[in-house]
Structure 1
């Protein structure tokens, strides 16, 4: 007595179509994950650039306001 793991009602073309759909679904899911990482990376880069520019501006303003202590 043979035990088959594949249903006898599935045709080979149906099995191929199912495998193709599964492959397509997994590919789309993987690409969406890459897109989410790319968007998150872009957001972090924008915030980091904003913080850097703000810190430089605050540093320049502090240097202009606070005297050096050197009296010429």
Structure 2
């Protein structure tokens, strides 16, 4: 006679493993999204700083 747990344990392990593997993909996407956000913010701040310096250095002809 086959014990009851002989079939239940592997199925339970499989049922718990599949969602965990799916969640790993979400974690990778979240980390990549965070990295892109950090880089985009850095580029935006740098562009604003360069624009401000250029506006200060290059005369535009307005005498305020």
TM range (shorter): 0.7 to 0.9
Q: CA deviation at 1:23?
A: 1.4
Greater fraction of residues in helix = 2
1:2-45 Cα shifts (integer Å, max 9, x gaps): xxxxxxx8654322211111111111111111111111111011
What aligned pairs does 1:1-72 form with structure 2 within 5 A after superposition? 11-71=3-63
TM-score, normalised relative to structure 2:
0.83
TM-score, normalised relative to structure 1:
0.75
Count residues in correspondence: 64
Q: Which residues of structure 1 form unaligned runs of 5+? A: 1-8
